[in-house]
Structure 1
Amino acid sequence: MKQLVCLLAFLLAIGTSQAQKKEVIYLKNGTVLKGQQIPVDDEKVVVRSGKDTWVFQTSEIDSVGTKFSSAILSGQKSYFIKTTGGLLIGSSSNDKSKPFSFDASFNLKVLPNWYAGVGTGVDFLEESYLPVFANLEYHFRESMFTPFVGVQAGYLFPLDDNIMVGSNYYYDIMPWSSSYYAAQMLDCQGGFMLSPSFGMVNQLNENLALMMSFGYRFHQVSFEGGKDEYKLEREYNRLTIRIGILFN
């Protein structure tokens, strides 16, 4: 849980700094600028945005805000890159009851409110895996705060070479102590992954958002090898808590 709290604090610090750095300046000619405004006098205002600097008459400015309107946001959210981290919460009897998980995905808008993409990451279960997955999400509305539902499906590629059958990890499958079986080493083959979830997105500005989600994660992985040619299958059923950043 400490890992999740530290990650949340880090993401909030980034989001807060990004949200507070700049204002949104709406000009009467329809132009929208993101930057810092510096009044010169009663008639002129300097606007700085990145490396660019503009000078406007105050009469040219329609309004100034701290967030983009939903119309501006909906017009720019044709894709997003999402990075998330979180915990895969299982039974306290597991060797790792709350292992850490990280992923990143690139997602495109395929229909109004629907996004599809692909991604990868790393899951630290009893073994470590690299998931490669397809991602599908439905965002209920185009606004600063929006709930969403999503699902990931893909394959887990093992990052560890092998495991020992007689270890504590697999005592529930081979519940006896024997030096003969304890010496059996199996190669990790990877397996299927499925993870439905729901959550909330908070759009901080036109290209940065924070998200938090809850869900369920299913893994089915297999192991093969050993001098007795074992084939072992193992299933993981975990609850997920994830937080992350969306860029677009």
Structure 2
Amino acid sequence: MHLMALPALADNYIWLMHDDQGRAAVVDPGDADVVEKALAEHGLSLRAILLTHHHQDHIGGVAQLQQSHPVEIHAPNDPRIDHVNQRVADGDVVELRGPDVRLEVLAVPGHTLSHIAYVGAGWLFCGDTLFSLGCGRLFEGSPEQMLASLERLSALPGTTQVCCAHEYTASNGRFALAVDPENPDLAERLAEVARLRGLSLPTLPVPLARELETNPFLRIDRPALVRWGERNGAEAGDRVGRFAALRQAKDHFRG
């Protein structure tokens, strides 16, 4: 099985997986033309579309792709998402037939209330819930929901390859360094990110174990983040308060 990150729009990635027989599936195709170009260049046949949430930069290409390809379209049960023929929910298993991939559906509310992720074949397609060195904004959900969602993802095997939907790693890294400046693993990751972006290469996917070492939103119980929370009005034992303060600080960060 092969995986490609297709740059789209301003900073999105559309994830395309395919087998050696040329059968493909895409995750969050916000731009149909990007997908069509990749299919043509690599001689692939689109068989399925997976959607994580309703935002236009993730679903904007679905209608056009559906006109050209008779595909299964898997999405959360959210009326804001049209053209869907396979509604899925937490605990469901998506069995793709060409490419042959088995993906478990995880409910991960926070960024939106109906947000889901897909995990399988060693990959995690997490939409806008988890980013490298960051996490999604809370447009609809609560800090409690987002923290629980991130903890659920954190419990996956460390070898899981995190396939986020945006190239935010460098900007997230500047905030991460501001709140966790003595983390040597973070310094190493930032050097790697600078090298990759200097070559116009994606910083993704990234092993979950690497994120557990470097992503402040996955490290809120570490001493450095507990101290940061206390300096910013969160009590030491208030994990949700500390997470909420961290997310609010990121929302206003201009580093």
Greater relative contact order (Cα < 8 A, sep 6+)? 1
Structure-2-length-normalised TM-score: 0.22
Larger radius of gyration: 1
Whose helix proportion is higher, 1 or 2? Answer: 2
Whose strand proportion is higher, 1 or 2? Answer: 1
